[in-house]
Structure 1
Amino acid sequence: MFRINVFVLFCFSFISILPQSPRSCLSGNCKNGKGVLIDASGNESKGTFVNGTLEGYAEVKFKNREMFSGIRKRLSIRGKAQRIDPETGKVVYGTWIEDGDCNDKGCKTWANFIPDSNVECIFQGTFRRNQKVGKGSYICLNGERFEGIYANDLANGRGKLIYSDGSFYEGEFKNGYPISK
């Protein structure tokens, strides 16, 4: 009995060190052609594969429910694309220059930019590592507008906020709020 237990334990130990398949092709040709692939992290990729790598237009559903559709080149997002954040619902459209970096020519997102509000707005500006930075502006469905400096994904620095009734505040902002002096 002892020998059988040792043998069974050895078999399970050996199986656990065998290489696990990091990727699984669900359909099509995931080496050189069109296919659907699940990677080792649980992300699902659909598109054209060249030497096992997505190239050209692709759709990716990440394990965290974030979605991407657009152009992939050499393992990076480059060119026109959109990303959807599953937690905030923020949709970012634009031209990516690096993963998570969207240049300021046409990089737009719909989201709730007014603190403590559910008013939807469209932001246009620069994204670095998926956060708004530098000069940017937004226009909201309720008519509110803002143009100014962003840091840490919020209005931080000089800006002008025009409220929906036409009144405005021009001056400094900190963490998304106007600073009254």
Structure 2
Amino acid sequence: MKKLIFLFLLSPLYILAQADDAKSSEEKQESKVIIEECISGNCKNGKGTMQYQTGVYEGYWKSGLREGEGKYTWTNGDIYEGQWMQDKRHGLGVYVWHDGSKYKGNYSYGIRSGYGLYYYTNGTLYEGTWQNNLKHGIANFYNKESVNIGGKYINNEYVSGTGINQDSYKFKPAQ
């Protein structure tokens, strides 16, 4: 009898646990749903606009892939405008984050690579080379009021440089 009462008392917990498992699997399944719909133009070969679950792409297509000049606007407000190749950011482009920070430079198959400028929201600017989305190589780092010339970065870390600070620097890149 005690076992029967014990099982009776635990059964609501078991049912709740099953309900939570069902909800979890439902959420996982929902996250796998991908919305892709060509809303205008030619999204196979030509110029068209595609609606995705994460945003909207407007630009050129080749064999159903983003190819050439295009703009992707994410639902959170981030924007990339520039070159695409085989459905990835590739070539020159500008990525603006919803917080106002901005990257202008080279991409290689979706990754910041090569020369680029990164504008921080506080007015600081990094001008230099990138590798695997990280600051890597020779660079200039411009603070709002001064500049550190000739620095070297390895995997996003400043490692060495001249450390020359100046009140103004005529050759600072424009926004």
Shorter-chain TM-score tier: 0.5 to 0.7
More helix per residue: 1 or 2?
2
Matched, 1:108 2:117: yes
* Separation of aligned partners in 2, 1:142 and 1:122: 11
> Deviation string for 1:104-138 (max 9, x for gaps)?
3xx222225xxxxx3x2332212234321222212
Equivalent residue, structure 2, for 1:12: none
CA contact (8 A) 1:25 1:37 kept: yes
The TM-score with structure 2 as length reference comes to: 0.65
* Separation of aligned partners in 2, 1:37 and 1:22: 10
1:72-91 correspondence to structure 2 within 5 Å? 72-87=84-99, 89-91=100-102
Counterpart residue type for residue 118 of structure 2: T
Equivalent residue, structure 2, for 1:121: 124
Counterpart residue type for residue 158 of structure 1: S
Equivalent residue, structure 2, for 1:158: 160
Equivalent residue, structure 2, for 1:24: 37
Give the deviation of 1:21 after TM superposition: 6.6
1:1-181 correspondence to structure 2 within 5 Å? 22-39=35-52, 41-87=53-99, 89-104=100-115, 107-111=116-120, 118=122, 120-155=123-158, 157-165=159-167
* Separation of aligned partners in 1, 2:92 and 2:84: 9
CA contact (8 A) 1:100 1:127 kept: no
Give the deviation of 1:33 after TM superposition: 2.4
* Separation of aligned partners in 2, 1:77 and 1:160: 34
Counterpart residue type for residue 111 of structure 2: G
The TM-score with structure 1 as length reference comes to: 0.64
Identity between Structure 1 and Structure 2 (%): 23
CA-based RMSD of the aligned residues comes to: 2.8
Query: Across the two proteins, how many residue pairs are aligned to each other?
Result: 139
Give the deviation of 1:62 after TM superposition: 2.2
* Separation of aligned partners in 1, 2:89 and 2:119: 20
Structure 1 spans left out of the alignment, 5+ residues: 1-15, 113-117, 167-181
